[in-house]
Structure 1
Amino acid sequence: MTVKAILEEKGRNVVTLTSAETIESAVNTLAQYRIGALVVTSGNGRIEGILSERDIVRVIAEHGAAALKKPLSTAMTAKVKTCSESATVNEVMEIMTRSRFRHLPVEKNGVLAGIISIGDVVKRRIQDIEREAEEIKQYIATV
């Protein structure tokens, strides 16, 4: 199973902001959409960074409430790991587990093409395991 299949099922919409917007704006956006991370992009869709709830907690711990007025560029993770649509579920599980993050932007031709979460990956993996178990049961029943 590939990332492309996950995106085809869940959709390709990604909540994005620009690096000049404030952390306060990002907090409001995360709350509005009930999500844990957003992708920071340039006007042409190129990925500049990713901002997670953890990033926000870190910057508030360091700067207090004044952090909310700072631009996203001061809190976002600029070195973003991405994957392609052809990546498999097992490959992205490995990336997310090894790097210890829950959101992975999908890039196509240098532009943001979607995002997958660990929840998306686990859901797909469980579906695959259930399908395989059913196929094994069917095979055993015919032998």
Structure 2
Amino acid sequence: MTVKAILEAKGHDVTTVGPNALLAEAIQLLAEYKIGALVVTNGDNRIVGILSERDIVRCLATLGASALDESVKAAMTPKVNICNEQHTVNEVMEIMTRGRFRHLPVEKDGQLNGIISIGDVVKRRIEDAEREAEEIKQYIATA
């Protein structure tokens, strides 16, 4: 199973924010869309960072309430791990586990093409396991 299959099922929509937006605006987007991370993009849809709930907590711990007036650029993670549509679910799980993060932007031709969350990966793995179990049951029943 590949990232392409996951994106075909869930879509390519990604909530993004610019690096110069205020952290308070980014927090509002996270709350409004009930998501855990925003991909930070520049004007031509190129990935320049990612802003997760953890990034925000770290910034708040350092600056207190004044962090809300900081730019997203000040709090984001600038070195973003990415994947492409050809990555397998197992490869994505390995990247996420090794990096200890829950969101992985998908890039195509140098531009943002989607995002995969740990929830997407777990859902796909459960679906695969259930399908395999059903196939084994059918095989045993017909043998």
RMSD of Structure 2 on Structure 1 (CA): 0.5
Question: 5 Å matches for 1:1-143?
Answer: 1-143=1-143
Deviations 1:24-51 (A, max 9, x none): 0000010011100000001101000000
Aligned length: 143
- What residue identity is the alignment partner of 1:29? L
Q: Give 1:141 deviation, angstroms.
A: 1.2
In the alignment, the residues of structure 1 paired with residue 9 and residue 130 of structure 2 have an alpha-carbon distance, to the nearest angstrom, of 18
CA–CA distance in structure 2, aligned partners of residues 119 and 105 of structure 1: 14
Q: In structure 2, how many angstroms separate the alpha carbons of the residues matched to 1:95 and 1:128?
A: 20
Alpha-carbon distance between aligned partners in 1 of 2:32 and 2:89, rounded to the nearest angstrom: 29
CA distance in 1, matches of 2:104, 2:58: 20
Q: Which runs of 5+ in 1 are unaligned?
A: none
Q: Which amino acid in structure 2 is aligned with residue 60 of structure 1? A: L
Q: Secondary structure at 1:50's aligned position in 2?
A: strand
Over the matched positions of the two proteins, sequence identity in percent amounts to 68
Q: Give TM-score scaled by structure 1 length.
A: 0.99
Amino acid across the alignment from 1:14: V
Q: Give the letter for the 2:54 counterpart.
A: R
Runs of 4+ in 1 over 3 A off after TM superposition: none
Distance 1:116 1:37 in 2: 11
Deviation, structure 1 residue 103: 0.3
Q: What TM-score comes out, normalization by structure 2 length?
A: 0.99
